[in-house]
Amino acid sequence: RTMKLGYRSDEEIATWRARDPLERTGVKLEAAERERIDGEVDASLDEAVEFARRSPQPDPESALDHMVASGVRPRSGVSP
């Protein structure tokens, strides 16, 4: 799957895809094995997306939780 985000040219994507270790290894597998693996990956991604969609939205107040270590004194001259 490829997402078209518009900040990379098709040529650049093709260049890096040719160097992608997953793609390079994939061509060495038999077609049936590659399809099986791709199917497992797709199913896992679909399951993760469905889990995220079913999950409640997080509390906006918790957005910055765990972003700053507690109990750490700032260096002198640095405002907390």
User: What pLDDT score does 46 carry?
Assistant: 97
Distance of CA 1 to the CA centre of its chain: 12
15's tokens: 């260049």
The confidence band for 78, taking pLDDT boundaries of 50, 70 and 90, is: low
Task: Measure the N-to-C terminal CA separation of the chain; round to a whole number of Å.
Answer: 43
How is the chain split into domains, by residue range?
10-55
14-56 pLDDT per residue, tens: 899 899 998 888 889 999 999 999 999 999 999 999 999 999 9
61: alpha, beta or left? (left if phi > 0; alpha if psi -120 to 50): alpha
Residue 47 vs residues 39, 52, 57, 76, 80: alpha-carbon distances, Å: 12, 9, 18, 48, 41
User: What pLDDT score does 36 carry?
Assistant: 95
Closest CA to 2 of 44, 26, 16: 16
pTM for the full predicted model: 0.55
The confidence band for 64, taking pLDDT boundaries of 50, 70 and 90, is: confident
